[in-house]
A and B are shown apart, each in its own frame.
Chain A
Amino acid sequence: MTSATLFGYCGAVLVGLGLFGLITNPEILRKIVAFNVLGSGVFLLFGVIARRGAAAGLGADPVPQALVITGIVVAFSATAMAVALLVRFNKETGQVTMSSDDPSNAGK
């Protein structure tokens, strides 16, 4: 097994774990953390792809690395915004989950 394959499997496991956590956890903060685990898996996959490009005879493929930096910035901003919303939500309601949903009350 080459290192690229190994990292590829690691990425796949992280994606699976993240997706599982995102769907099954009712607590919003855990969902946000799970999103970051999922994101790490995707970024790792980009690294593997850069490496595989290098294995194909090219010195190294810099494009996935450029993409992954942008991806990390976007994921970071998204996390910051989600956490900010969550803090405000928690201040207003004292809740950490979004159970007891009643969309008919929104925005009155």
Chain B
Amino acid sequence: MTPDATAFADVTTADGYLLVLAVIVPVIGILLSIAFGGRYVERIALVLLVAGLAIAIAIFAAVVRDDQSLVYIVGNWHPPLGIALRADGVSAAMILTVAVIICATGVYARKEFGQPDAKVATRGSYAFWILLLAIWSGLNAIAVGADLFNLYVALELLTFAAVPLVCLKGYQETIKAALRYMLFALVGSILYLLGTALIYGAYGTLDISLLSTRVQPEPVAWIAAALMTTGLLAKTALFPLHLWLPPAHAGAPAPGSAILSALVVKGSFILIVRLWFDAMPGLLTFAAAQLLAVLGAGAILFGSVLALRQARLKLLIAYSTIAQIGYLFFIFPLASGDSASTPWTSIAWTGGWLQLFSHAFAKAAMFMAAGLIAESLGHDQISDLGGIGRALPVTIFAFGLAGLSLMGVPPSGGFVAKWMLLSATVMEGQWWWAVFMLVGGLLAGGYVFMVLGKALSMNAPLTLRGPIPQHRQVLVLAVALCAILLGLMPLQPSGLLMIGRPEMHTNVLE
């Protein structure tokens, strides 16, 4: 290995073991579930949800308290030979967001996948809890991974858990959707692996912080970056590689849709950011950043317009996810510009991440609300929603609050995020992205109000399949309120998201 390996002083921090726990506690739950069988799987999952949430809060608190990254050197083998787990401010915020949404989804899913008498276990419910835990473990592993190959394995764990979630109901269409998702994921993963091979061949390490000083803007790095990014874009469902997303996210059961849309597509996005900002900062040129944002802009227009044309509520929400993912890619041109000394002190860095977190909460709330509506009506045709606002007032209120965040209307996390990104377009002099953001906001307003208008209209008396208990509606409202509460963030670069980031932008060109 290279001689500078020993010079890299990275040691396990006091609370570093928490990162290991965050990854393995859900896996322990999976093993226990398999060992004890389907009857106990829900109870095991619920206990672990509480434990996992506690670990996530502990990680977040430790990062905020120490104002530095948590690090764990696995087996005390230092990079580049060993693997480091690192949680910076962004990772800590991601881990907490994931934990809150997974827990809320777990409580929400008890109606559909719970086993009240604990005597019989259906295959669907058995699989659901195991997949939920597997997705959690995969997302945490992505958040703390600091090695490109380790991240590859984490990404595969996430994909293998996400695909079966799509076809849990076993209908013909959902199996087709899962199969298409799987094919896109296969291409994505193998392209990423090919890029990893090239990087290892050229630079002899896969540790992200070591790579940041070694990667030079040369053909092999460009090819590797292009391959890895393309692979990850297929998994993130960025336009034009989004074809698998709408049938998959609309076909999954409601709690599954919430997890897939709110969290799973973000896993591969985090990797793209790690790749361009952390591993290969020298490669993030003006042209590369513009290209990524062009795709994002295409996603906003395409996703929003198609969302407006959907007849089914879940498909509308799925197309809205495609559009909202597009905003995330504005982080590349806007945070890498000259207006701040480093990308992380720029307003676009905070805005981009805030968009990710607020969309996660808003989209989870929306899919959960759509699930309650479908449960109550027996369908989710938008044209026949009339009067549901009277039957499920709290649910529709939650849907509206989540919609505010998607549109970017105050007070909401989505507003603060989009306002920051808009300010960044002005500061960077890249006004053209502002046009897409504003049009996207208008179109989002269009599809949210289309649903709300139908839901609040007074039609013929509804025939409801059964009452929805108040506590489930309040749960959805609570998730939507998280998206609103993020709107209380001050309108300035967040210190939390800068924790553990290098002071100066590493200049590999010298």
Contacts and interface: CB of A to CB of B under 8 A. Distances in A.
Interface of A: 15, 18, 22, 28, 31-32, 35, 38-39, 41-42, 45-46, 48-49, 52-53, 58, 63-64, 67, 70-71, 74-75, 77-78, 81-82, 85-86, 88-89, 92-93, 98, 103-108
Interface stretch (B311-319, B334-342, B443-451, B496-504): B311-319
Interface in B134-175: 149, 152-153, 156, 159-160, 163-164, 167, 169-175
Contacts, number: 118
A45 B197 contact: yes
Most-contacted residue by chain B among A38, A86, A103 (CB, 10 A): A103
Contact of B173 (A58, A63, A64, A107): A107
B160 A63 contact: no
Contacts of B149: 67, 70
Contacts of A38: 190
Given A42-B194, A52-B201, A103-B247, A108 B187 contact: no
B247 A106 contact: yes
Interface stretch (B21-29, B177-185, B422-430, B433-441): B177-185
Residue of B170, B193, B314, B315 with most partner-chain A CB within 10 A: B193
Contact of B176 (A39, A70, A78, A89): A89
A106 B252 CA distance: 9
B300 to A, nearest CB: 20
A35 to B, nearest CB: 5
A82 B182 contact: yes
Nearest to B257: A107
A83 B216 CA distance: 40
Interface of B: 1, 81, 149, 152-153, 156, 159-160, 163-164, 167, 169-180, 182-183, 185-187, 189-190, 193-194, 196-198, 200-201, 204, 246-248, 250-252, 310-312, 314-315
Contacts of B171: 107-108
Contacts of A108: 171, 173
Contact of B194 (A15, A67, A93, A103): A15
B186 A82 contact: yes
Contact of A45 (B153, B175, B176, B194): B194
A71 B193 contact: yes
